[in-house]
Amino acid sequence: MVAAMSTSTIVARSKATGHHVLKIHGYSHTKAVVATGEHVLSRGFPIGGRTWRIMYYPNGKRKEHSDWISVGLNVEPDAAKTAVKALFRLSILDMNGEPVAAYTSASSTIRTFPSLGRNDGYTFNYFVSKLDLERSAHLRNDVLAIRCDIEVMRNVRLHVLMEEKFLGVPEPDLHGHLARLLHTKEGADVEFKVGDETLAAHRCILAARSPVFKAELSSSTAGTSIKIDDMDDLAFRALLQFIYTEALPEMTAPAVARQLLAAAGRYQVARLKAVCEDKLSRSLDNKITERHVNSAATAQIQRHHGRHKRWFMGLRLKLLNLHRPQRQQPQCSLHSTLNPVNKAYADAAPSPSASTIIVSETTGHHVLKIEGYTRTKMILNNGEHFCSGEFKVGGHTWRLKYYPKGESLESTSFISMRLESTSIGATDADVHGKVELSITLPGHAGEPIRLCSFYDPKLTFTKNCNGVTAERFVTRAELESSRFLKDDCFTVRCELTIFVKEVRAEPLETVPPPVLPRHLCQLLSSHECSDVSFKVGRETFAAHRCVLAARSSVFKAELLGPMREHKEGGIRIDDMDGAVFRALLHFIYTDELPTTTEEEATTMAQHLLVAADRYDMDRLKLVCEDKLCRHLDTTTAATTLALAEQHQCPRLKEAIFAFLCSSSANLRAVVASDGYDHLTSSCPSITKELLVRLAAAL
């Protein structure tokens, strides 16, 4: 069982930037009249939704700075009295208005400007010595220009994209489509007279499901009407339903099941034979149980009413549950309680059963993208972390913690990662599993390439120990010198498997799994009973009208509708590749896509999406959307978005928008791809919609 895949993106990019230039006309005058420790404020200027001011100390902020000019930055408190974080830089401008590198001071880390308490902001006490300034060419006509550049750190944003939001393929509908075909009789080419009833059917489906029907219906003496003398109409109707759907009607009576058992042998429908045997066996067991409980046990209870009343109740429960596995008793205990009633039932040979210890696995993965890695280092200190979005695996909720400067003092030069559960309670049983954390890049063959990996195959999560930490996950130096850090972004993948131990008692499997898709696939490949052909390029494909009509309303109109007389010859398909049409037929007959390589999967899904829309095949369309979501990357996003827009696939479109908005690196790569020009020319409105989405994500 695979859990939904998900992605979180931690965005620590600065989005609010600006600058302000403070010009001091009469530098000498300010130096003469403003005492050490006193300052002149610039006018307020807005950046990032806050109002800022430059503080100019012409004679230094303190006595020890009196030979220097001190310059600082402060922010005015807002109504909500919230703090703000920012990077800033102060520079003296030359005569051309350009910052002078030698006289530039910048904050080494992100600074927090509180709105209460401390109001003096941050100051570079030794900004420039007065002597150096006065000897330089940057003080002309007693005018000094100071530029302040500010980057306001807005709140770190977390984008969470749960892929299950965009996926969700309905259950296969082949059985339902064929059931409707049998019921409507559309395209039927043979009929059976059973008693007073006439039942219509389709030769190709009967031939695919039964070698006897195949031989009888393909012989030269076979007519269009066949009389059935050895079954009643109810049983033959049930036989046809099973042939078309792999299921018997509800509440099939034992008498009908016995006729069907004989018919299954006659027509060599092996799975129907197993189904009938199982049904009759269960019916027989129930009758034996009731007979012994109501006769022998009742006689004993009447003779020993008071003393054996409790024994009788226990016996009844035991008989009614005999098909369920019983805990093995010591042999002496068995002999001491065995009596004629028990022995009579034991001689009836109950259906086989088994107790099974099952350790099942539930696996899921979460991808955490960090955008603005450098700023995450500036914002957080050692021991501080960002959290991913929550994701579910194995019935529990999980999240990742990202420590850009390590979790503890022992890991200050490392990036630490932690996986923890947010849902395990004190009364919950221990949760066992395994986890792998890795920094990855997509590989050419679909497998990710790893920079580093943390793997623990034996984990136990409890209320008091709800997580595991990769404290020395990777050194920052190793990450920063690698190709895995691109555009200040990198990706951490978490692969989590939860083990579920279950002791389950169940009957041994006596009925084989359904084989309808395999039979129809063999029918398609054999060309037997085919009654229509398609010419696609240089290839010719044989098929069966009734199957195509059952699966597609468009094929139904073309092959069984009023225009049928114009379609008797080979039907030419001009706008589709032969491999795509072959895959389309395979899905029509089996409800599954043919196996392809990873490289072919996306291209085939794109072409089949167009075919599904053309032939009104909703489930195939959803299957293709699902596959395109799972294989979405920067090389396919633009062409897939164009298809989603042209063929009304809103869920696929939402998935691609989320992919583009989750990462600026993704967006840049998609815009630079060959498919983007096609997207803008074929779907011009999509560009405007994308801009709106991007603006909303900022």
Q: Where are the domains of the chain?
A: 13-155, 174-286, 295-354, 358-505, 518-697
- The DSSP-derived string for 152-172 is EEPPPEEEEEEGGGT--PPPP
Looking at residue 331, its pLDDT comes to 34
Rounded distance between C-alpha atoms, residue 545 and residue 531, angstroms = 6
Whether the predicted model's global pTM rises above the 0.75 cut: no
Rounded distance between C-alpha atoms, residue 54 and residue 299, angstroms = 105
Q: What is the mean pLDDT of residues 440-449?
A: 62
Q: What is the mean pLDDT of residues 526-538?
A: 92
Q: What is the mean pLDDT of residues 302-324?
A: 40
Tell me the residue ranges of DSSP E strands in 166-256.
Answer: 190-194, 197-201, 225-228
Looking at residue 191, its pLDDT comes to 94
pLDDT level of residue 335 (50, 70, 90 thresholds): very low
> Is residue 252 scored above 90 in pLDDT?
no
Looking at residue 156, its pLDDT comes to 60
**Do the beta carbons of residue 376 and residue 404 sit within 8 Å?**
yes
Looking at residue 507, its pLDDT comes to 52
Q: Strand 391-393 and strand 122-129: pairing?
A: unpaired
Q: Collapsing DSSP states into helix, strand and coil, what is residue 371?
A: strand
* Range 13-155: architecture per CATH: Sandwich (2.60)
Looking at residue 130, its pLDDT comes to 95
- CB-based contacts of 305, cutoff 8 Å, min separation 6: none
> Is residue 349 scored above 90 in pLDDT?
no
> Is residue 421 scored above 80 in pLDDT?
yes
Backbone angles phi, psi at 397, to 5 degrees: -100, 140
Looking at residue 4, its pLDDT comes to 52
Q: Which of 128 and 348 is assigned the larger pLDDT?
A: 128
Considering the four listed CATH numbers 3.90.25.10, 1.10.10.10, 3.30.710.10, 3.40.50.280, the one that applies to the domain covering 518-697 is 3.30.710.10
Q: Which of 185 and 430 is assigned the larger pLDDT?
A: 185
Looking at residue 502, its pLDDT comes to 56
Q: Which of 665 and 430 is assigned the larger pLDDT?
A: 430
Percent of the chain beyond pLDDT 70? 79
pLDDT level of residue 523 (50, 70, 90 thresholds): very high
**What pLDDT digit, counting tens, does each position of 590-615 carry?**
999 998 876 788 899 999 999 999 99
Q: Collapsing DSSP states into helix, strand and coil, what is residue 265?
A: helix
**Do the beta carbons of residue 476 and residue 403 sit within 8 Å?**
no
> Is residue 673 scored above 80 in pLDDT?
yes
Rounded distance between C-alpha atoms, residue 85 and residue 89, angstroms = 14
Looking at residue 211, its pLDDT comes to 94
Closest CA to 27 of 1, 64, 56: 56
pLDDT level of residue 83 (50, 70, 90 thresholds): confident
> Is residue 511 scored above 70 in pLDDT?
yes
pLDDT level of residue 443 (50, 70, 90 thresholds): low
Looking at residue 344, its pLDDT comes to 38
Q: What is the CATH number of domain 358-505?
A: 2.60.210.10
Q: What is the CATH number of domain 174-286?
A: 3.30.710.10
- CB-based contacts of 673, cutoff 8 Å, min separation 6: 634, 635, 637, 638
Least reliable range by pLDDT among 249-258, 376-385, 396-405: 249-258
**What pLDDT digit, counting tens, does each position of 89-144 carry?**
999 999 889 999 999 999 877 788 864 455 668 999 999 999 999 999 999 899 99
Quick check: do 13-155 and 358-505 share a fold? yes
DSSP 293: H
Q: What is the mean pLDDT of residues 54-67?
A: 95
Rounded distance between C-alpha atoms, residue 488 and residue 374, angstroms = 7
> Is residue 646 scored above 70 in pLDDT?
yes
Looking at residue 347, its pLDDT comes to 42
CB neighbourhood size of 264 (10 A):
22
- What H or E segment, with its residue span, contains residue 302? helix 296-303
Looking at residue 255, its pLDDT comes to 85
**What pLDDT digit, counting tens, does each position of 203-251 carry?**
999 999 999 999 988 875 667 889 999 899 999 999 999 999 999 987 6
Looking at residue 200, its pLDDT comes to 96
Looking at residue 452, its pLDDT comes to 92
For all residues of the chain together, what is the average pLDDT?
Answer: 82
Q: Which of 443 and 187 is assigned the larger pLDDT?
A: 187
Looking at residue 420, its pLDDT comes to 94
Looking at residue 328, its pLDDT comes to 38
Q: Which of 157 and 576 is assigned the larger pLDDT?
A: 576
Q: What is the mean pLDDT of residues 524-552?
A: 94
Least reliable range by pLDDT among 6-10, 202-206, 268-272, 632-636: 6-10
